[in-house]
Structure 1
Amino acid sequence: MAAIKNYSLQNGEKRYQFQIYVGVDPLTGKEQRTTRRGFKTKKEAQLALSRLRLEIENGTFRKTTAETYLDVYNLWIEQYQNTVEESTFVKTSGIFKNHVLPAMGAYKIEKINVEVCQRHVNEWYGKLKKYRAVKSYAAKVLDFAVKRGYIQLNPFTLVDMPAAKKEDIEQEEAQENFYTKEQLIQFLKCLEKEDNFKAYALFRLLAFSGMRKGEALALTWNDVNFKTNEIRINKALSRGTNNRLYIKSTKTGIARTIKMDENSTRILQEWKKKQKQDYLILGYNTLKSRQLVFNNETNTFLQPTKTRKWIVQVQEKYKLEKITTHGLRHTHCSLLFEAGASIKEVQDRLGHTDVQTTMNIYAHVTQKAKEEAIQKFEKYLNI
C-alpha cells in the first residue's frame, strides 16, 4: 500500500508526497516505483494516488522518466551533442543556460501549455534581440519530448510570434556592415601605415578573398599556392568547450579553392618572409609543415578576438567608418556584385551551399550601385 507522507519546504511550508509500486520493467525484470510530490494538501495527493491506481489497473500507466523540462533537456542535449560541431554545441548550451532553463527548467513537462510558451516568448521578445532563435531552441526540447512520448503536442507550434521590432529594423538599415570601394582603399592605406604587417596582411586577405575570419585563422602555408595565386579553404578555427580553440571543417563542410589577385599574393609572400625573421628571434621555426599563416606570439592559434582590437584601433585613429571584421566579407561580396560578378560566382567564392543564402544575407549593394541603378533606369526611359 502506498502511504502519503508530508514534508517541509525550506520556507517552512508543508507539502505531501507518495510512492507507489507500478509493476515490473519488462526490459530489466526489476520492480518499478514512481514518486509524486509537491501536493499542497493531503486531499490533492489522495486524488492523484487514486488516479494512478486506476491507470495501473487498466494497464494505461506508463512510468515517466523525465518529469520536468530540465529532465527532458538533459536527455535531449546528450543526443544533440553528437549531431553538431563542438562550437555549435557550446553556443546552444549557452542559450539554454542563460535564457531557457532559468525560465522553464522547473516546469512539469505535461503542464507546459501554449499560454506558458507564449508568455516566455513575449518575455524574450521584450529583452532579447535574437528572441526567435531562443524560442526555436526551446521548442527543440519539446519536439524531443513528443518523440519520446512524454507529451502529445509541442505547444510552441501554436505560439504567435511577435513582429520584428521597428527599432531593430531601423538600426539594421542605419548600420550597414560593409565598406564602399573608396572606404576600403582608405582603410587599407591607413592600416599599411601602422607597424603591424600581420594585421595588414590578414585584413587585406579578408577583403580580397571574402573568406570567413575563422577560415583565415586556420590557414597554413601549404594551403597557399604562390605559383597559381590560389588558396585552398578546407577548415576553420573555432571555439569549443572550456574556451578551447580547435580546428573544424568549414561552416558548410565543403572545401573550396579560390583565385587571388597578384598583389594580395605578393603581400602574403612578404608576410611569410617577415614571419620567418620575427619568429626566428623568438625561437620558432615557421618553415615547418602545417605552419599557421596567422599565428600568435607562441606560434599557436591567434585569438579571434584580436582582430576586433586591431580593426577598432585603426578606425578610431584615422576616424574611419566603423565596420566589424566580418564586415570585410560583406564588403567583398558587395564589391563583387558592383564589379559585375554573377550570383553564382559570388556564391561559389564565398562558399555558400545554396544561392538563397547569398541573396538573403548579401542582397545589399553599395550606395554607388544603388545610384547607378536609378541612373540606368532614368537613361532607359529617356524622358
Structure 2
Amino acid sequence: MTKITEYTKKGKKYYYFKVYLGKNPITGKEISTTRRDFKTKGEANTALMRLKLAASEGEYFQQTPITFKDVYTMWLVDYKNGIEDSTLKKTESIFKNHILPKLADKKIAKITPAICKTIINEWMNVKHTRIIKNYASRVIDFAITNNYLKTNPFNTVPVPRRIEKTDQYANEDSQDIEFYSKEELTIFLNTLNKETNLKVKTFYRLLVYSGMRKGEAFALTWGDIDFTKSEINVTKALSQGKRKPLYIKSTKNGVRRTLTIDIDTMEILQEWKKVQSEDYEALGFNTSSKNQLVFSNLKNSFMQPSYTFKWMKKICSRSNLRYLNTHGLRHTHCSLLFEAGAEAKEVQVRLGHKDIKTTLNVYTHLSEKSKIDTIKKFEDFLKKE
C-alpha cells in the first residue's frame, strides 16, 4: 500500500505520496512518481487512485515523454518477425549509422517538419537518402499507431532531387551500378586464365558467364550442377546476418532458375571438382556427396563472403584494371547480354529478377553509364599530348 504522508510547509499542513507504477512498456524502466501539496488526505487519496488507474490502462505512460529511440526499440521487436536475418542486419546498420545519431534522444512528440527537413538535408551527403528517410518514417508511423503522436512530420518533407555533379559525369544513383566493358572483361578473363588458385579461377569464371550473385555461387552444391545438360540449378544463396553469421536462405525474391552454361566453364568446374576431391581428401574430408559445397573453406564449411574483396583486388592489380566489386561482374554479364542482342525477358529470367521492371531499370542505368563513359573517354583522349 502506498503511504500518504503529512508534512508542514510555511506553517500549513499538507499531504504527499510516492507511488510505484510498474515498468514503462516502452522503455522497460521502473516508474515511480511523487505528488505533493494536497490540502487534505482525501485529495491525496483521490489523486493516487487516478494515477494507479491511468498506469493500469497505459494512459499514464502515453503521457510520459518518450524518445525516438524508445519507439524504435519497440518497433524493432515487431519488425524482427518474419524477415531474413540478412535484412535485419542491414536495417539495424541503417539505424545505427544514419538515423539514431540524428534522432535517438529527441522526444518523439517534439519532432517537427523543420527538424526532419534539416536531418534529410544532412542525409543527402550519403547514398540511399530516400531509403533512410522511409525507415525513420516507419518508426514515426509506429508511434502514431500506438497513440504517442498524431501526425508524421516526415510525410510533409520530400527528399530533394540530387544535383548532377558534372565533374564526375554522373549522379550518385548512377554510380551505384559499375561494370566492365567488353574490352575490360577480355583483359580480366585473360588474367584469370593465369590464376594458379583453381578455386578462385573457377569462382570468377562462373560469375562472369552465368550472371549469378556471389551468395548464390557460394551456396552451390555439386548436386545443383548437371554436367550432362550443362545446366546449373540456382535455388538458394549464402547470406550473412546478425543472429546467424552465415546461413543458407532462398534466392533473392525467392526466384529459382536453371541456367544453361557454356562448355568451357563446365569443363573448368569439372576440373575444380577433381582437384577439390584430391585436396580436401588430404585434409580429411570426403567431397563425393551431392550436398558438398562447390566453394568451401579449408574447414569444408561456408566461405566468408568478404574473401572476394582480396581475390578481386589481386586480379585487378595483376591486370592493371580498375577495381570492380564482385557484384559488378553480374552487371557486366547483364550489360553484355543486352549488347549481344538479348531480349529484356531473356535477361530477366537469366538474372533471376522477379519483376521485369528491375531488369529494365538496370538496363537504363547501364545505358546512361555507357554514355557517360563514352564522353569521358573522348575528353581524356583530347587532353592527351
| TM-score above 0.5 | yes
CA distance in 2, matches of 1:279, 1:174: 41
- State whether structure 2 residue 158 is matched by structure 1 residue 157: no
What does residue range 55-94 of structure 1 map to in structure 2 within 5 Å? 62-64=59-61, 67-94=66-93
What CA deviation, in whole Å up to 9, does each residue of 1:186-239 have, x standing for no partner? 211211112111111111111111111011111111011111111111111111
Number of corresponding residues: 329
Partner AA of 2:273 in structure 1: K
What does residue range 1-383 of structure 1 map to in structure 2 within 5 Å? 62-64=59-61, 67-126=66-125, 128-167=126-165, 169-170=170-171, 177-241=178-242, 244-365=245-366
**Equivalent pair of 2:85/2:244 in contact (CA under 8 Å):** no
SS in 2 for 1:163: coil
- Aligned CA distance change for structure 1 residues 102 and 36 (closer, same or farther; 3 Å): farther
- Aligned CA distance change for structure 1 residues 112 and 19 (closer, same or farther; 3 Å): farther
- Aligned CA distance change for structure 1 residues 347 and 124 (closer, same or farther; 3 Å): same
**Equivalent pair of 2:206/2:265 in contact (CA under 8 Å):** yes
- Aligned CA distance change for structure 1 residues 75 and 198 (closer, same or farther; 3 Å): same
**Equivalent pair of 1:294/1:302 in contact (CA under 8 Å):** yes
> Under a length normalisation based on structure 1, what TM-score does the superposition of the two structures give?
0.77
Residue 114 of structure 1 and its aligned partner are, at CA, apart by 1.1
Name the Cα RMSD after superposition.
3.1
**Equivalent pair of 1:209/1:258 in contact (CA under 8 Å):** yes
CA distance in 1, matches of 2:321, 2:306: 20
- Aligned CA distance change for structure 1 residues 176 and 143 (closer, same or farther; 3 Å): closer
CA distance in 2, matches of 1:91, 1:286: 34
Residue 288 of structure 1 and its aligned partner are, at CA, apart by 2.2
**Equivalent pair of 1:64/1:150 in contact (CA under 8 Å):** no
Report the identity percentage: 47
SS in 2 for 1:166: coil
Listed as ranges, the gaps of 5+ residues in structure 2 are: 6-16, 22-29, 35-46, 372-385
CA distance in 1, matches of 2:358, 2:344: 11
**Equivalent pair of 1:335/1:366 in contact (CA under 8 Å):** no
> Under a length normalisation based on structure 2, what TM-score does the superposition of the two structures give?
0.77
Residue 151 of structure 1 and its aligned partner are, at CA, apart by 1.4
Listed as ranges, the gaps of 5+ residues in structure 1 are: 4-17, 23-32, 38-49, 371-383
Partner AA of 1:164 in structure 2: R
Partner AA of 1:131 in structure 2: T
Partner AA of 1:148 in structure 2: N
Residue 173 of structure 1 and its aligned partner are, at CA, apart by 5.6
